[in-house]
Amino acid sequence: MHKNQLQIEQLYDAYHRDVYHFALYYTNSKQEAEDITQETFLKVLKQLHHLKDGEKVKTWILTIARNTAVDIHRKQKIKRLLTEKLIKQPILTEGIEPPTIVEKNEQWQMVQQALMTLKSHDRTIIICRMLKDYTIQETAAILGISEVKVRVDFHRAMARLRKKVGRRN
């Protein structure tokens, strides 16, 4: 572990600025760029044993950063759609107008109904990946299927859910 720790520290020192700047340009948000940078180097640490060509370490790390940024951005976009609508019931507070509460409740009901019309497998994948933030690996283990199947099925389930709630992208 000491060797990996030393190696990851060297990689971080050498490339964290490149990863951060890429993420900053990608998101235009300092907080999101920091999150992407942190997540990227966690993935680098976990996948360090897969690095075969030391000459391509920078492109390898930036590829991980790009994939991380895309994943996080996609997750946040879909999560905004779902979590707004998948909260239990709106809490009555001062400052929230009754029409807003009714609209949020109607959105929740629409998404909940759409989720309930999906096959159990699709619903489970969406819940695991989007609402519970489980990784692809964790979702695969929970469902007893391959990671590739999780990716494909998740993509298809989200397309079906979007179609049911009337969104195309």
Query: What is the C-alpha separation between 76 and 96, in angstroms, rounded?
Result: 24
Rounded-to-10 torsion of CA 98, 99, 103, 104:
-30
pTM of the model: 0.52
> What pLDDT is attached to residue 36?
93
Per the CB < 8 A criterion, the answer to whether 100 and 111 are in contact is: no
- Backbone region of residue 95 per phi and psi (left: phi > 0; alpha: psi in -120 to 50; beta: other values): left
Orientation of helix 30-47 relative to helix 2-27, angle to 10°: 150
pLDDT in tens, 18-29: 999 988 888 888
Per the CB < 8 A criterion, the answer to whether 44 and 11 are in contact is: yes
> What pLDDT is attached to residue 169?
47
> What pLDDT is attached to residue 89?
42
Cα-Cα end-to-end distance for the chain? 43
pLDDT in tens, 45-89: 888 887 776 778 888 898 899 888 888 877 776 666 666 555 444
pLDDT in tens, 100-155: 555 556 666 777 777 888 888 888 888 788 777 788 888 888 888 999 999 999 99
> What pLDDT is attached to residue 92?
44
